[in-house]
């Protein structure tokens, strides 16, 4: 048999083995790179979710503080201020992506707090202005507060809103 012609030709067997090893090494390297990239992607997604949840926790805590203080108050003006604070405090789309799971949870928490504060206003005032929080704010709230839909940047409170938000949120923040 001639050299390099198969089984008895040792150099050809060595070339085929080296070639197979190189293919195996490239395949293993490519799979390792794909796994590493996927792990990096998962780590980044986890980090982003962790930040979103932390921001959502802070937002819902603010709503709960407003709710708690409003339920302890008998002053319609203060209760309306707490409602206003809950409405203007980082509306949907400012800290969370609009429509995301965390955003929906935050907005549910905001609405439940506002509903409870409106119920408290009904008890305190003996009146019923419906479910729209703005009608309660217009009737009992501070006149110098800017409505959130008229603010230049609704995610950031303006002058008088900042002071009233601080008072509404309490010093425990």
DSSP the chain: --TTSSSS-HHHHHHHHHHHHHHHHHHHHHHHHHHHHHHHHHHHHHHHHHHHHHHHHHHHHHHHHHHHHHHH---HHHHHHHHHHHHHSS-TTSSS-TTSHHHHHHHHHHHHHHHHHHHHHHHHH-----S-HHHHHHHHS-TTSPPGGGSSSTTS--HHHHHHHHHHH-TT-
Kindly state the average pLDDT of the residues 65-76.
Answer: 92
Q: Report the number of distinct structural domains present in the chain.
A: 1
Place of tokens 């929080």: 133
Q: How confident is the model at residue 154 (pLDDT cuts 50, 70, 90)?
A: very low
Asked whether the beta carbons of 162 and 146 are under 8 A apart, the reply is no
75 vs 148, residue with greater confidence = 75
Least trusted range by pLDDT, from 76-85, 132-141, 156-165: 156-165
Kindly state the average pLDDT of the residues 147-156.
Answer: 42
Distances from the Cα of 80 to the Cαs of 67, 158, 163, in angstroms? 11, 18, 15
In a domain, 84, yes or no: yes
pTM score above 0.75: no
In a domain, 152, yes or no: yes
Place of tokens 């008072």: 167
Res 93: pLDDT:
82
In a domain, 9, yes or no: no
In a domain, 48, yes or no: no
Res 18: pLDDT:
77
Measured in Å, how far apart are the chain's first and last C-alpha atoms? Answer: 89
In a domain, 114, yes or no: yes
Res 14: pLDDT:
61
Res 17: pLDDT:
81
Nearest to 89 by CA among 70, 69, 113, 68: 113
For residue 88, what are the domain limits?
Answer: 53-169
Kindly state the average pLDDT of the residues 135-158.
Answer: 60
Q: How confident is the model at residue 102 (pLDDT cuts 50, 70, 90)?
A: confident
Displacement of CA 77 from its chain's centroid (Å): 30
Kindly state the average pLDDT of the residues 25-35.
Answer: 94
In a domain, 82, yes or no: yes
d(Cα 38, Cα 114) in Å, to the nearest integer?
Answer: 42
Res 16: pLDDT:
66
Distances from the Cα of 53 to the Cαs of 62, 104, 136, in angstroms? 14, 12, 31
Kindly state the average pLDDT of the residues 89-105.
Answer: 86
């Amino acid at each position: 048999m001639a050299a390099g012609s198969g089984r008895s030709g040792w150099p050809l067997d060595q070339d085929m083995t080296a070639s197979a090893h190189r293919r195996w090494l490239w395949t293993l390297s490519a799979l390792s790179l794909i796994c590493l990239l996927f792990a990096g992607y998962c780590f980044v997604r986890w980090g982003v979710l962790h930040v979103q949840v932390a921001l959502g926790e802070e937002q819902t805590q603010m709503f709960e503080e407003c709710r708690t203080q409003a339920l302890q108050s008998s002053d319609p003006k203060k209760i309306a201020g707490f409602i206003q604070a809950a409405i203007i405090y980082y509306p949907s789309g400012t800290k969370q992506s609009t429509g995301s799971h965390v955003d929906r949870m935050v907005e549910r928490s905001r609405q439940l707090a506002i509903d409870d504060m409106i119920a408290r206003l009904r008890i305190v005032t003996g009146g019923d202005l419906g479910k729209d929080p703005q009608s309660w704010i217009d009737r009992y709230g501070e006149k110098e507060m800017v409505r959130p839909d008229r603010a230049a940047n609704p995610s950031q409170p303006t002058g008088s809103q900042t002071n009233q938000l601080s008072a509404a949120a309490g010093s425990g923040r």
